[in-house]
């Protein structure tokens, strides 16, 4: 039997999925949140089916973590696919106004229908849906302008569904990050692990750090803010070629972690996740066939 590889489907996600199915009827609009660094790998395959006929807005969060050129090429590509993405920065607050506007517009038909039936308008009920740790709760806090829900730097912070009323045109439903019960595409699973979008117990940090090094060594300039091989050399004082990731980790560990490659792997991943290696888009749009 093939090895299960990276898998993460904790109990709270299974529970959240069941609750979501029950709540979906009460929701007018789905805000699909994904991670700009791994835009494709962080889109849930079943989301379209769940949203059904409801309006859906694609929210690309962590826009500050990718170079502007990568953002432009993704934007063009998504528009060619018929999407009209809203780019946000849930930490700095960028894009919040546009997101609110998109939610109000996408939900406008609801109140037109209500008015026709002689009902008073009500706030549009928008569900924030996406993989763990992509920044759903941070976006909600930005939209409401206060710390209404918990938002932290690890996957699996939001544990249950929670309505947040803005007292305006939109009500927001925060949901735990969801992901498919089985991660079939292990390349995508590695990207999710690199970006801390799945629980850390699900993978071996050294293997994931090595995958990050391989990516960093091979990324062309539009997807990184600066040449990364040089950055790795200057930041960690290691001239070993990162395309030999195991040797790179050993050399860096000798410098910074008393030879402990596991600790060095943690440090490299942490630096990347905190943006200390600069803006990096780990995925690029697929060229049109
Ligand atoms: N740099 C950057 N950090 C962000 C952005 N959005 C969120 N964050 C940070 O990412 C971390 C995760 O954010 P959360 O809001 O907890 O993510 P979530 O999607 O609600 O995560 P779960 O509830 O675990 O599914 C927090 O430390 C946020 O401050 C962003 O656009 N840019
Ligand atoms: Mg959350």
The verdict on 29 and 169 lying in the same domain is: yes
Torsion angle of alpha carbons 177, 174, 145, 95, nearest 10°? 60
The verdict on 139 and 222 lying in the same domain is: no
User: Of the ligands numbered here, which is closest to the C-alpha atom of 134?
Assistant: 1
The pLDDT score that the predictor gives to residue 2 is: 47
Q: Is residue 243 part of a domain?
A: yes
Q: Is residue 283 part of a domain?
A: no
Ligand 1 neighbourhood includes 134 CB (under 6 angstroms): yes
Let me know: does 211 contact 194? Beta carbons within 8 Å. yes
Q: Measured in angstroms, how far is the CA atom of residue 143 from the centroid of ligand 2?
A: 14
Let me know: does 117 contact 161? Beta carbons within 8 Å. no
Ligand 1 neighbourhood includes 93 CB (under 6 angstroms): no
The pLDDT score that the predictor gives to residue 62 is: 98
The verdict on 84 and 18 lying in the same domain is: yes
CA–CA separation, 23 and 173 (whole Å): 9
pLDDT in tens, the chain (289 residues): 445 689 999 999 999 999 998 899 999 999 999 999 999 999 999 888 888 899 999 999 999 999 999 999 999 999 999 999 999 999 999 999 999 999 999 888 888 999 999 999 899 999 999 999 999 999 999 999 999 999 999 999 999 999 999 888 999 999 999 999 999 999 999 999 999 999 999 999 999 999 999 999 888 766 666 667 778 888 999 999 999 999 999 999 999 999 999 999 999 999 999 999 999 999 999 765 5
Ligand 1 neighbourhood includes 62 CB (under 6 angstroms): yes
Let me know: does 249 contact 261? Beta carbons within 8 Å. yes
Output the residue whose Cα is nearest ligand 1's atom 6.
Answer: 90
Ligand 1 neighbourhood includes 95 CB (under 6 angstroms): no
Let me know: does 38 contact 65? Beta carbons within 8 Å. no
The pLDDT score that the predictor gives to residue 231 is: 82
The verdict on 234 and 160 lying in the same domain is: no
The pLDDT score that the predictor gives to residue 207 is: 97
Residue 270's Cβ-side half-sphere holds a number of Cα atoms within 13 Å equal to 6
Output the residue whose Cα is nearest ligand 1's atom 32.
Answer: 62
The verdict on 118 and 244 lying in the same domain is: no
Structural domain total, the chain: 2
Q: Is residue 148 part of a domain?
A: yes
CATH number at residue 25: 3.40.50.300
Q: Measured in angstroms, how far is the CA atom of residue 205 from the centroid of ligand 1?
A: 21
Torsion angle of alpha carbons 61, 62, 67, 69, nearest 10°? 0
124 strand-pairing partners = 170
Ligand 1 neighbourhood includes 238 CB (under 6 angstroms): no
Ligand 1 neighbourhood includes 10 CB (under 6 angstroms): no
Q: Is residue 153 part of a domain?
A: yes
Q: What is the DSSP string of the chain?
A: -----S----HHHHHHHHHHHHHGGG-SEEEEEEEGGGTTTTS-TTHHHHHTTS-EEEEEE-GGGS-HHHHHHHHHHHHHTT---EE--TTT-TTHHHHHHHHHHHHHHHHHHHHHTTPPP--EEEEEEESTTSSHHHHHHHHHTS--S---SSTT---S-EEEE-SSSEEEEE------SS---HHHHHHHHHTT-S-GGGS-HHHHHHHHHHHHHH--GGGBSS-HHHHHHHHH---S-TTSHHHHHHHHHHHHSTT-HHHHHHHHHHHHHTTTT--B-S--PPPP-
The verdict on 160 and 20 lying in the same domain is: yes
Let me know if 51 is exposed, middle or buried by CB neighbors in 10 A (0-12, 13-18, 19+). Answer: middle
CA–CA separation, 163 and 168 (whole Å): 14
Q: Measured in angstroms, how far is the CA atom of residue 8 from the centroid of ligand 1?
A: 19
The verdict on 72 and 142 lying in the same domain is: yes
Q: Is residue 194 part of a domain?
A: no
The pLDDT score that the predictor gives to residue 261 is: 97
CA–CA separation, 19 and 30 (whole Å): 15
Q: Measured in angstroms, how far is the CA atom of residue 174 from the centroid of ligand 2?
A: 7
Q: Is residue 119 part of a domain?
A: yes
Q: Which domain holds residue 28?
A: 11-174
Ligand 1, from 138, 158, 197, 279: best to mutate by most atoms within 8 Å of Cβ? 138
Q: Residue 286, Cβ neighbours under 10 Å: how many?
A: 8
CA–CA separation, 131 and 192 (whole Å): 9
Q: Find the distance separating the first CA and the last CA of the chain, reported in whole Å.
A: 34
For residue 138, give the ligand 1 atom closest to its CA: 15
The pLDDT score that the predictor gives to residue 221 is: 66
């Amino acid at each position: 039997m093939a090895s299960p590889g990276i898998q993460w489907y904790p109990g709270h996600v299974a529970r959240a999925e069941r609750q979501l199915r029950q709540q979906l009827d009460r929701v007018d609009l789905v805000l699909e949140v994904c991670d700009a660094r791994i835009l494709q790998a962080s889109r849930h395959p079943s989301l379209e089916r769940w949203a059904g006929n409801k309006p859906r807005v694609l929210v690309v969060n962590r826009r500050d973590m990718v170079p502007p050129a990568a953002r432009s090429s993704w934007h063009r590509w998504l528009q060619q696919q018929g999407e009209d993405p809203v780019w946000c920065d849930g930490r700095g607050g960028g894009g919040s106004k546009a997101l609110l506007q998109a939610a109000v517009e996408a939900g406008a038909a609801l109140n037109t229908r209500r008015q026709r039936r002689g009902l008073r308008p009500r706030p549009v009920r928008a569900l924030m849906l996406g993989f763990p740790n992509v920044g759903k709760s941070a976006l909600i806090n930005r939209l409401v302008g206060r710390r209404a829900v918990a938002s932290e730097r690890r996957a699996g912070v939001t544990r249950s569904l929670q309505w947040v009323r803005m007292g305006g045109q939109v009500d927001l439903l925060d949901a735990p990050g969801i992901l498919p019960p089985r991660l079939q595409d292990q390349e995508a699973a590695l990207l999710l692990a690199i970006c801390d979008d799945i629980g850390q117990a699900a993978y071996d940090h050294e293997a994931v750090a090595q995958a990050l090094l391989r990516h960093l060594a091979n990324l062309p300039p539009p997807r990184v803010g600066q040449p990364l091989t040089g950055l790795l050399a200057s930041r960690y004082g290691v001239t070993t070629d990162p395309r030999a990731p195991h040797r790179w980790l050993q050399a860096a560990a000798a410098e910074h972690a008393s030879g402990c490659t596991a600790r060095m792997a943690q440090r490299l991943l942490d630096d990347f996740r905190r943006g200390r290696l600069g803006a990096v888009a780990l995925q690029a749009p697929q060229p049109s066939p």
